[in-house]
Amino acid sequence: MDMSAYPLELPADDRPMVRFMNVVKSYGRLVVLDQLNLDIAEGEMVTVIGPSGSGKTTVLRMLMTLETINGGVIYIDGKPLTHMERNGVLVPADERHIRKMRASIGMCFQHFNLFPHMTALQNCMEGPVQVLGLSKAEARARSEELLTLVGMIDKKDQHPSRLSGGQQQRVAIARALAMRPKVMLFDEVTSALDPEVIGEVTNVIRKLVAEHNLTMLMVTHQMGFARDISDRICFFYRGKIEEQGPPAALFGNPQKERTKQFLSAVKEAD
C-alpha cells in the first residue's frame, strides 16, 4: 500500500486509542505478522491469546517500539507512532519522535526487569525524575501512592533481589504506571511466577481494570483470568487474528476450528 493512503492523523470521529493498520512484521523471509488490523478503544482491555509462535508477544513489542515494523502504520491516540510527517506524507519515525510517542505507553515484562541496583521506590521514581523531569518530592509522592495501590508500600526500601517474583512484578507494574501511560502492555506477566503468587499479580491488574480508565493490551496463558477481566479476546494464529470477540462468545462458542482446537488443548493442560 502506498504511504499516501495512510492519514497523517486519524479523524476525531474515528480515533481509537490504538490502531494497527496493515502492520507487517517479518524476520528475513519469515512473516510473523501479516497485515494486522486491530483497534483498541480508550479504556478497553484486550487480551491476546494463541499458540506459541503465533506472534502475540510481537504485537506488544511492536507497540512498545521494541521491534520495528516492516509495513503499515501504528497510531496511538490518533497520531502515528511508528511514522512521522514529512512534506505531507508519513515517513519512518526517527529516534526522537519515537521517544516522545512511546512515553504514552507502559510495559510490564515476563521477567519483571526491575533495576537491581535500585530499591522498589527508586525503581518507580527513576522514570518520573529522569525522563519526565519531576522533582524528587513529586516523584516520591506519586511512586508511594502507586506502591500502595499494588500493596508494596511496606517493601519500598527493599532491593529487587530481596523480593519474591510476585512482589517484583507488582513493583514493575507500579514503575510502569508512574510514567502515567495512556496504554499499558502486559507481556505474560504471570508466566515466570510460582502458582501461589500469580493471584497477587492478577488481583492488581483486576483492580486497575475496575478502578482506572486505562487502555490495556495483555498477552497471557491464564485463560480464566483473561475471561474474567477482558472486554475482548483476540485469538492469534500464524500471524493473523483468527477470531476475536467478547470473552463469553469466544470461550463459550468459538466459531473457528483452530480456536476450538486451541481452547480444548489449553483446557486439557489445566
Q: Which residue ranges make up the site for another protein (CB under 8 A)?
A: 64, 66, 95, 99, 102-103, 105-107, 109, 111, 113-117, 119, 126-127, 130-131, 158-162, 175-176, 179
Q: How far is the CB of 162 from another protein (least distance, A)?
A: 6
Q: Identify which of residues 65 and 259 has a Cβ nearer to another protein in the complex.
A: 65
CA distance 17 to 12: 11
Q: Identify which of residues 41 and 64 has a Cβ nearer to another protein in the complex.
A: 64
With beta carbons less than 8 A apart as the criterion, state whether 238 and 52 touch: no
Q: Identify which of residues 29 and 96 has a Cβ nearer to another protein in the complex.
A: 96
Q: Identify which of residues 140 and 232 has a Cβ nearer to another protein in the complex.
A: 140
CA distance 215 to 245: 17
Q: How far is the CB of 1 from another protein (least distance, A)?
A: 29
Q: How far is the CB of 25 from another protein (least distance, A)?
A: 17
**Listed residue (49, 79, 75, 46) closest to 62, CA to CA:** 75
Start-end of H helices in the chain: 56-63, 95-102, 120-130, 136-149, 165-177, 195-211, 223-229, 247-252, 257-269
Q: How far is the CB of 180 from another protein (least distance, A)?
A: 11
With beta carbons less than 8 A apart as the criterion, state whether 265 and 249 touch: no
Q: How far is the CB of 260 from another protein (least distance, A)?
A: 35
The set of residues, in sequence order, having a beta carbon less than 8 Å from that of 77 and lying 6+ positions away, is 15, 17, 104, 182
Return the C-alpha cell found at 79.
497520531
With beta carbons less than 8 A apart as the criterion, state whether 149 and 173 touch: no
Q: Identify which of residues 14 and 154 has a Cβ nearer to another protein in the complex.
A: 154
With beta carbons less than 8 A apart as the criterion, state whether 48 and 217 touch: yes
Q: How far is the CB of 12 from another protein (least distance, A)?
A: 26
Q: Identify which of residues 152 and 250 has a Cβ nearer to another protein in the complex.
A: 152
